[in-house]
Structure 1
Amino acid sequence: MVLVWGHKLLNGTYVLGKCLKPNATLHPFWGIHFANYCSNSPNKPVIIHDRVSQQRKTAEGLQVQPPKDVAVDRTSPEEKTEINFDKAIKDEMKSHFKLLKDEIMNNWVGPGGRPLHEVMLEQAKVVWQFRGREDLDKWVVTSDKLIGGRSEVFLKMGKNNQSALFYGTLSSEAPRDGDSSQSGFCTMMSSIPRGAFARKQPHDWSGFNTLYLRIRGDGRPWMVNIRQDTDFIQRSNQMYSYFMFTRGGPYWQEVKIPFSKFFFSNKGRIRDVQTPVMLDKIASLGFTLSDKVDGPFFLEIDFIGVFKDPTHTEEFAYENSPEISPRLFK
C-alpha cells in the first residue's frame, strides 16, 4: 500500500510540473489529483498538436495568412524615422532669418544691444578672452607641417581656465621635397566670424587706435598679423604685421601696439608701397613664431582687446614717395 501511494505521489508531481503554470500554488494533496486530471484531459493532445503544426508550417515557410489573433511585427508611429527635406530647409531658413533679425536690431540699438552713445564713448574693448573650450574653438593653429616640416604646435586652456596656452616645438629643418629650402614657423590665427547665411562679419575697430594684449612668453620675438577683409579678391598671404617681444619669466606683461605701426607684407616680404590698415574691415588676427631658433616655445594669452589712446596721434608710421607709388599722389 505504501509503495502504491509513493508511486502515485511521484507520478503526480512529475505531471504537475508539466501541466501547471509557474504561478500556480496548490496543496500537495490537491496537486496530485489536479495533475491526474490534466493528464487525463481529452483536449490537451489536440491543443499541443495544433501549436506544433502551426510552428512547423511557419518554419517550412508556407505562404499562409497569419491568424487574426497573431500579432504581426510592425513599427510603431513613434519609432518611425521621418526624413523630410522640405522641413529641414525651412528650419534652416528660419534660424538664418532669426540671426539676420538680431543683426539688424543690434545695429539699430548698438553692438550687443547697448545704447549707441555708450559704444561711441567706449575707450576699451575686449575682443577675445580665454575662459573655456568654446573660446579655443575660435582659433586655428598651423605649422610648417603643411609643407612637410617638423614643427609641432598645440593649443589648450591654461591654469584654472583663465588663459590660453600656445606651445610646441619649432624646427627649422627644411622638408625633403627637393623644392622648399626654408622651414620653421608656427601660427595661431583667429577664425573669421560668420553671421546669417554664413556671411563674413569683419571686426570694426575704427573707433580705436591701439591693439592691447596681456600675455606671458618665454622671451622669443613674435609677429602679430592682421588680415583685412575687402570687397576685392584678397590673397591669403597678404597681411599687416608688427613685432611683439616677450620678456620671459613668470610675470605677465601688457603689450600695446598702435595700428599705425603695422606694415603691409606679401609672402613674408615688406612691400614698397605701404597703406594703413582699414580698421573697419578686420577679418582675423594671429601670431607667428619663425625666429629660426629650434626648440620648445610657449605663449600664454589672457585676453586680446583694443583701446583708444588719446596720447597717440600718429596716423601712419611709413612714408610713400611719388617714385615708388605715383598713383597715391595723383
Structure 2
Amino acid sequence: MSLQKITRLSSLRLLSSIPHQQLLLPSIGPLTASSRAVIQGEYRRPGQPKEDKFPWQKIKLDFRKGLEGMKKHFTLLKTEFTDRWVGPEGKPLIEHMLEQNRVLWEFRGPESLEQWTVSSDREIGGQSEVYLKLGKNNRTCFLYGTLNSTPPRDGETRYSGYCTMRSKQPLASFDRKIHYDWSSFNTLHLRVRGDGRPWMINIAAETFFSHQKDDIYNYFLFTRGGPYWQDIKIPFSKFFLTHRGRIQDDQHPLWLDKINTIGFTLGDKADGPFQLEIDFIGVL
C-alpha cells in the first residue's frame, strides 16, 4: 500500500471520529451573536393562532366617529398655530427660559386618568390583576391589584408576574406623534406613597431604527410604606438602557428632548396585594 493511500485512510478515520455538529462549524473561531436581533416581529401569545387578515380588513368605518375625529383634530391644529405665537409649548418665552421645575402629570380629576393605561401578565395568560382609580377626594392616582407569579400552562412561558402603569403617547392633530422636551431639566421628581415594594421606573424615548423600538431606560423606585408621602428625586443620568428587560453593554444617554412615555412596573415575585399612590410627576 502506497504512502498516499495510508494518509487518505487515516484522514477518513479521523473525520469519522469527529461529531457531525462540529464539522458544520467554521474553523475561524467561536460563533458570536449580536446583542439584539435586527429583525423582530410583534409579540404573539404562546398558543394563540396567527391572524391572517389584511391590514384593510381590520379597519372599521363609522361616519359619526369620523365627524367627531375631524372636529377634534382641527381643534388641536388651531391650538398648535396659536401656541407658536405665544412661545414654546404655549408659554411666554421669559417663563420658558426661567423655568426651574415643571409638573407634567397631576391627578386632579377623572380626565387625568385618561392619559394612562394599565396592563399585566394577563396579556400572556398570567393571573395578576391591576386597577387604576382616583384616590381620596379625587386628588391622587391610586394603582392597586394583586401580583401572581404563576406562569401560564401553555408549555412555552416560563416566567410571569408583572403589573404596569404607563402614560399614553402624546399625539398632535391628525394623530401625529409629538414628544416631551425635558432638555432644560436634569432630575425626575415624584411624590408617591407605596407599601414598601420596589418598583421600576421606565422612560421610553424616540428611536430612529426599528430594532430599537423596545429600548427603555430604567431606574428603581423604592417605597418605604406607611402613611407618609415620599418626595423622590432621581437624576436622569442614573437611568440605564435595557432592551426587552435585558441590560445592554453599550449604554447611551437618554435623549431628553424626545421623550415618549413614562411608566411604572412591579415584578418583585412577591405574590400578594400591592398599592401605589401618586400625587404628581414632574421634572426639575
Fold match by TM threshold 0.5: yes
Cα distance in 1 for partners of 2:217, 2:90 equals 31
Who is 2:81 aligned against? 104
Q: Is residue 186 from structure 1 mapped to residue 173 from structure 2 by the alignment?
A: no
Residues 163 and 93 of structure 1: is their aligned pair in 2 closer, same or farther, counting only changes over 3 Å? Answer: closer
Report which of the two structures shows the higher radius of gyration computed on alpha carbons.
Answer: 1
- 2:190 pairs, out of 197, 213, 226, with 213
Q: Which amino acid aligns with 1:252?
A: W
Q: Deviations over 1:22-55 (max 9, x none)?
A: xxxxxxxxxxxxxxxxxxxxxxxxxxxxxxxxxx
Q: Distance in 2 between matches of 1:288 and 1:150?
A: 16
Tell me, yes or no, if structure 1 residue 119 matches structure 2 residue 96.
Answer: yes
Which consecutive aligned stretches of 4+ in structure 1 deviate over 4 angstroms post-superposition? 85-95
**Structure 2 Cα separation of the partners of residues 306 and 234 of structure 1:** 29
- Matched pairs, number: 223
Match of 2:124 in 1: 147
* Cα gap change, 1:217 to 1:107, in 2 (>3 Å): same
Aligned match for 1:304, one of 278, 281, 284: 281
Amino acid at match of 1:257: I
| Residue matched to 2:45 | none
Change over 3 Å in CA distance of 1:219–1:91 after alignment to 2: closer
Q: Equivalent residue of 1:137, what SS?
A: helix
For structure 2, the 5+ residue unaligned runs are: 1-61
| TM-score, reference length from structure 1 | 0.64
Counterpart among 216, 231, 249 of residue 254 in structure 1: 231
Q: CA deviation at 1:235?
A: 4.8
Map Cα deviations across residues 84-125 of structure 1 (whole Å, 9 max, x no partner).
Answer: x99997886565344223213313322453211111110000
- Which residue among 133, 139, 157 is the counterpart of 2:134? 157
Which amino acid is 1:301 matched to? I
Which gives a bigger RCO, structure 1 or 2 (Cα 8 Å, sep 6+)? 2
Please give the residue correspondences for 1:265-304 in structure 2 after superposition, counting only pairs within 5 Å: 265-304=242-281
> For residues 232 and 103 of structure 1, what CA distance do their matches in structure 2 show?
28
State the alpha-carbon separation in 1 of the partners of residues 282 and 64 from structure 2: 41
Q: CA deviation at 1:171?
A: 0.6
Instruction: Determine if contact 2:121/2:128 at 8 Å carries over to the other structure.
Output: yes
Partner AA of 2:187 in structure 1: T
Q: CA RMSD in A?
A: 2.1
Counterpart CA distance in 2 for 1:140 and 1:86 is: 27
CA 1:186–1:93: 2 relative to 1, 3 Å: closer
Q: What's 1:130 paired with?
A: 107
Output the CA distance in 1 between the equivalents of 2:272 and 2:178. 37
How big is each residue's C-alpha offset from its partner over 1:266-293, in whole Å with a ceiling of 9 and x where there is no partner?
1111000000110111100000000010
The SS at the match of 1:155 is strand
Shift of 1:238: 1.9
User: Which consecutive residues of structure 1, in runs of 5 or more, have no partner in the other structure?
Assistant: 1-84, 308-330
Would you say the 8 A contact 2:207–2:213 is kept in 1?
Answer: no
- Report deviation, 1:237: 3.0
Between the aligned partners of 1:240 and 1:88, the Cα distance in structure 2 is 36
C-alpha distance in 1, partners of 2:162/2:71?
43
Q: Which moved more, 1:86-95 or 1:106-115?
A: 86-95
Q: 2:242 & 2:64 partners in 1: Cα distance? A: 48
* Distance change in 2, residues 1:88/1:289 (3 Å): closer
Structure 2 partner of 1:35: none
Contact 2:121 2:162 in 1 (8 A): yes
CA distance in 2, matches of 1:174, 1:150: 8
